[in-house]
Structure 1
Amino acid sequence: MNVLIFSLTAFICTSAGGLLALRFRDHLHLILGFTAGVLLGVVSFDILPELFALAGEHALDPGHAMIALVVGFLLFHSAEKLTLIHHAQEDQYAEHHHPQVGLMSALALVGHSFMDGVGIGLGFQVSNAIGVAVAVAVIAHDFADGLNTMSLMLAHNNTTRRALLLLALDALAPLVGALSTLFFRLPAGVLSLYLGFFAGFLLYISAADILPEAHSRRRSSMTIVMTVLGAAFIFVVTRVAEG
């Protein structure tokens, strides 16, 4: 019951974040700046600390997870560039706005949200206290996850209908992930590789995709401020959850 309640809360928060991005799409450069900071914060203050803690607890080699991080980064970089080359050959696009890129980025976030739900479910398998702590951390940044998904889709010229579909998938992902843990247990070694792989995905999306997109739309010092605020927001959220 606890797993279901917290997963439904994550669903609501993700949806609210995405609808906010849709409502204020005229200020997308500021939302994208905040989004980049959030993703950087999630990697730095959430995923990597969890990865190293997991490696220490189970005597795993963190180097393997770091290899997975590099693979994730380079895989997304390669996929994006191949997509851009393909479209350049077909349509001679001059700008970095392609629906497929936004779709791939959003799907990466859906995968991350699914594993957030898995984290909630596995936390409750250990104890109610750990499950609640994990759930609070997930719910706190699920609002930003929804915002990120919608921002990525709109930034790359996807239709509103497609963006809402991806938002729905992102909102449902934590619920599906949490419920899936009723049927399996994820080995610590596999989880550490997942954390590294998606850290690489999110680093690429933040630094090489969202930030350049934000500044290309409108050069503004406020975009930089929003990026700093996004990273600071996740820093505070993770520290509160730890407390």
Structure 2
Amino acid sequence: MSKLLFIIVMGTIISLSGTMIGAIIGISLKDPSEKLLCKFMGFSAGLMLSIVVFDLIPEALNSWNFYGVLIFLILGMLIVYFIDKNTNSIDINMHKKVAFMTALGLILHNFPEGILMGVGFQAGNRLGLKMAIIISIHDIPEGIAVATPLIASNEKKSKTLFYVFLTAIPTLFGVFLGSYVATISKNFLSILLALASGIMLYVVCAEMIPESRNLGDKLTSYFYMIVGIIAGLVIIKLL
């Protein structure tokens, strides 16, 4: 129980820090340029791609066979694909209604992120810490995405921070669920890691990379994605 509590506290604090840093940046900038968001998105995409390819998938393969991991990796991609198809794409530079709709999307998004962290910590504290750091950095532009339209609509800064904080709450429940179910067996842990890998691959390839390219030029997007991949490799090596 003490380990479970540790996982929940650590996962939530680290993840929340990224979202709130993004909110503070959004409040400070008020209207961040698309070029800046392009860099954030490209860097985050590279980080996530690195952790999936060089850490999560190998960890899943340690306890299960290749085809089993492949099947659940594809399943993870399909799950988030169907979720994505049933949600609206929101532009971050619109009015207050957009901010709340964006927040709603992030609430649904942060729950599986919490599951990823919980599973990662159960696979090992190092993997969990890597996952938490990567997700925290990835959450920075999401915090910006909620905060900037609220500030643009003259919402109070204190309320803006509170609304952004609420979007991160589902992470706590996700961490609890992920860390609990991952203790059932090593095979089940591998299934969850494979599902998590599929989810993250879809988010990176179908959402983050295209969004980064749309916000800026391709060269800038790819450059910061490569920087993100390198940063991810450094984190994997150090942790």
Q: TM-score, normalised by structure 1?
A: 0.69
Deviates more, 1:133-142 or 1:202-211: 133-142
CA shift in 2, pair 1:158/1:74, >3 Å: farther
Per the alignment, residue 94 of structure 2 pairs with none
Per the alignment, residue 222 of structure 1 pairs with 220
CA contact under 8 A between 2:15 and 2:136: conserved in structure 1? yes
What is the CA deviation profile of residues 138-179 of structure 1, one whole-angstrom value per residue up to 9, with x for unaligned ones?
44334324326436x549x98686544222333x3576358x
| 1:81 paired to 2:85 | yes
| 1:193 paired to 2:172 | no
Q: Which stretches in structure 2 are left out of the alignment for 5+ residues?
A: 27-31, 92-97, 152-159
- Distance across 2 between alignment mates of 1:143 and 1:32: 13
CA shift in 2, pair 1:237/1:62, >3 Å: same
Following superposition, the deviation at residue 34 of structure 1 comes to 1.2
Per the alignment, residue 133 of structure 2 pairs with 140
Output the aligned Cα RMSD. Answer: 3.5
* Pairs within 5 Å for 1:49-198: 49-53=58-62, 55=63, 60-83=64-87, 96-97=89-90, 107-120=108-121, 122=122, 131=125, 133-147=126-140, 149-150=142-143, 154=146, 163-170=164-171, 172-173=172-173, 176=176, 181=180, 185-198=183-196
- Distance across 2 between alignment mates of 1:176 and 1:199: 19
Per the alignment, residue 92 of structure 1 pairs with none
- Distance across 1 between alignment mates of 2:149 and 2:197: 25
1:116 match: secondary structure: helix
CA contact under 8 A between 2:22 and 2:140: conserved in structure 1? yes
Deviates more, 1:35-44 or 1:104-113: 104-113
Per the alignment, residue 236 of structure 1 pairs with 234
1:97 match: secondary structure: coil
Percent of aligned pairs with the same amino acid = 19
CA shift in 2, pair 1:176/1:104, >3 Å: same
CA contact under 8 A between 1:14 and 1:146: conserved in structure 2? yes
Following superposition, the deviation at residue 206 of structure 1 comes to 0.5
CA shift in 2, pair 1:50/1:102, >3 Å: farther
2:227 match: secondary structure: helix
CA shift in 2, pair 1:74/1:119, >3 Å: closer
- Distance across 1 between alignment mates of 2:215 and 2:127: 36
Q: Which stretches in structure 1 are left out of the alignment for 5+ residues?
A: 85-95, 124-129
Structure 2 residue identity aligned to 1:143: S
Q: Between Structure 1 and Structure 2, how many residues are aligned?
A: 212
